[in-house]
Amino acid sequence: MSAEAIRIGARRPARRLFFHQLRSEQLVFWRSREAAFFIFLFPLLLFVLLGSVYRGRIYGVPAPQFLLAGLIGYGCANTAFAGLAIQLVLRRENGILKRLRSTPLPPATYVGSLLVSTLIVFSLQTVALFLLGKALHDTPFPSDIASFIATIVIGAAVFAALGTATASVIRSAEGSSAVVNFILLPMAFLSGSFGPTLHYPAFLRAIGDVLPLKYFIDLVKAVYLHGHGIWTRPQDLAVLAAWGIGGVIFTKFKFGWEPRER
């Protein structure tokens, strides 16, 4: 077993390390009941609850489909933004990140595997939402699968960048979930994750109009509800790209691997 690992390791250490770390990240994620519940199951639960409230059609679309699109947006922000930010702060403050830095695991491999691990969780969650929608309300699956997958990957990348940026400014493990939810829940509400926003006061809609989640949900709606290709929505992609690049740059300058509190 270990002789085999050495032989493979000598041949392609970078790839081996990446998959080793990806497996480790998945083990860490699913082993934590809090993470599995609040990150993975919570959007599914909200879908069941909201699906029993909204009936009929919303803007000409069957209500369950409309909600499904909004909750995919919420799931994305919840998993890639909130979940990732909280996990990163906890690991930084516990000294796990600092400890890993003294091992031969390259920082880029660590970050890469963490992002792919987050994408896996979000993808499984999206599949679960569709299966739940099918079972409860007979909602359809996306017709343009390639565009839909691209949308999911872009959304996960943008919100992961914002998650790492937010983790960079949070100072303590205790406060991390409060800070993150203070951003997440209003953003999800203003961006239409939980239902239509047309009846919101204008100033609330104006705030929603600058937040990235609205553009992600618009993109999901275009691709899923209306069957448009992803490239028919360049304005949504541009806003998401701007937020994502901003998050990456901010992270690059502000993120630290060592505990802040001590």
Partner 1 sequence: MPAIEVSGLRKAYGSLEAVRGVDFSIEEGEVFGLLGPNGAGKTTTVEILEGYRERDAGDVRVLGHDPKRPGPDFRERIGVVLQQSEMWPNLTVRETHAIFAGYYRAPRDVDEVVALVGLQEKANARIKSLSGGQKRRLDLGLALVGDPDLVFLDEPTTGFDPQARRAAWEMIRSLRSLGKTVLLTTHYLDEAEQLADRVAVMRAGQIVRIGTPSELTTTELQTEIRYRENGEEVLVQTGEPTRVLAELTAAAVARGEELEGLQVRRPTLEEVYLSLTAEEEGVEA
Q: Which residues bind partner 1 (CB under 8 A)?
A: 2, 5-6, 9-10, 13, 17, 20-21, 24, 27-28, 31-33, 94-96, 98-99, 101-105, 258-259, 262
Q: Measured from the CB atom, is 173 or 241 closer to partner 1?
A: 173
Nearest distance from C-beta of residue 120 to partner 1, angstroms: 17
Sign for the pseudo-dihedral over CA of 15, 18, 24, 27: negative
Nearest distance from C-beta of residue 57 to partner 1, angstroms: 44
Nearest distance from C-beta of residue 122 to partner 1, angstroms: 21
Q: Measured from the CB atom, is 19 or 141 closer to partner 1?
A: 19
Nearest distance from C-beta of residue 176 to partner 1, angstroms: 15
Burial annotation 7-20 (CB, 10 A radius, 16+ → b, else e):
eeeeeeeeeebbeb
Distance CA 86, CA 182 (A): 13
Q: Measured from the CB atom, is 3 or 135 closer to partner 1?
A: 3
Distance of CA 257 to the CA centre of its chain: 21
Q: Measured from the CB atom, is 19 or 59 closer to partner 1?
A: 19
Contact 163, 82 (CB under 8 A): yes
- Exposed, middle or buried: residue 112 (CB in 10 Å: 0-12, 13-18, 19+)? middle
Q: What is the DSSP string of 153-209?
A: HHHHHHHHHHHHHHHHH---HHHHHHHHHHHHHHHHHHTTSSS--TTS-HHHHHHHT
Distance CA 203, CA 222 (A): 24
Q: Measured from the CB atom, is 6 or 242 closer to partner 1?
A: 6
Nearest distance from C-beta of residue 88 to partner 1, angstroms: 13
CA atoms within 13 A on the CB side of 113: 21
Nearest distance from C-beta of residue 256 to partner 1, angstroms: 11
Distance CA 151, CA 114 (A): 19
Nearest distance from C-beta of residue 15 to partner 1, angstroms: 13
Q: Measured from the CB atom, is 32 or 140 closer to partner 1?
A: 32
Q: Measured from the CB atom, is 19 or 182 closer to partner 1?
A: 19
